[in-house]
Amino acid sequence: MDSLRVYLVTWNVATQSPEEDVTALLGLSNRSSKDKLPDLYFIGLQEVKSQPQNMLLDAFFDDPWSNTFRNVLAKHKYIKIKTVRLQGLVLSAYCLSHHLTHIRDLQTQFTKTGLGGMWGNKGAVTVRFNIYGCSVCVVNAHLAPHDHMLKERIADYNTIVSSQTFSVGETTQIFLHDYVFWIGDLNFRLADPNVLTGVEIKRLVACGELKSLLDKDQLRQAMALGSAFSEMTEQLPTFPPTYKFSLRNSTYDLKRRPSWTDRVLYFVHKNVYENITLQAEQLSYNSFPQYEQSDHKPVVSEFVIKVFSDYHDRMVEFLPVEDWYLDEMNSVFCRIGDDVKLSPWDWIGLYKEDFSSLDDYLCYVYVTTTPTWVEQNGGQTNQNRNTLKLTFPDSAARLPGRYQVVYVSHNPMSVLGISEPFQVYSPRLQSIDWPQS
Where in 153-287 does DSSP place strands (E)? 179-185, 262-268, 280-287
Helix (H) or strand (E) holding 64: helix 64-74
Torsional class of 242: left (φ above 0), alpha (ψ -120 to 50), beta (otherwise): alpha
SS3 (DSSP) at 74: helix
Dist. CA 123–CA 114, nearest whole Å: 7
pLDDT score recorded for residue 55? 53
Dist. CA 163–CA 150, nearest whole Å: 20
**pLDDT of residue 281 exceeding 80:** yes
Q: What is the CA radius of gyration of the chain?
A: 25
- Per-residue pLDDT band at 313 (split at 50, 70, 90): confident
pTM for this prediction: 0.93
Pairing of strands 422-425, 2-12: unpaired
226: Cβ contacts below 8 Å, ≥ 6 apart: none
- Per-residue pLDDT band at 381 (split at 50, 70, 90): very low
pLDDT score recorded for residue 60? 59
SS3 (DSSP) at 343: coil
Q: C-alpha angle 7/244/159, rounded to 5°?
A: 60
Exposed, middle or buried by CB within 10 Å (0-12, 13-18, 19+), for 258?
A: buried
Give how far Cα 378 sits from Cα of 11, 299, 316, 430, Å. Answer: 60, 61, 23, 35
Tell whether omega for the bond before 244 is within 30 degrees of 0, i.e. cis. yes
342: Cβ contacts below 8 Å, ≥ 6 apart: 336, 367, 371
**pLDDT of residue 166 exceeding 60:** yes
Percent of the chain at pLDDT > 70 equals 92
Where in 292-386 does DSSP place strands (E)? 299-307, 316-318, 324-325, 330-336, 347-352, 363-366, 372-374
Segment 220-225 mean pLDDT: 98
- Per-residue pLDDT band at 57 (split at 50, 70, 90): low
CA 212 to chain centre: 35
SS3 (DSSP) at 436: coil
**pLDDT of residue 250 exceeding 70:** yes
- Other C-beta atoms closer than 10 Å to the C-beta of 342 total 16
H helical segments located in 101-197:
150-163
Closest to 362 in 3D by CA, of 323, 318, 322, 402? 402
* Cross-strand bridge partners of residue 179: 136, 268
Task: Convert the pLDDT of each residue in 190-209 to its tens digit.
Answer: 999 989 999 999 999 999 99
Closest to 157 in 3D by CA, of 203, 218, 213, 99? 218
**pLDDT of residue 58 exceeding 60:** no
Dist. CA 364–CA 348, nearest whole Å: 5
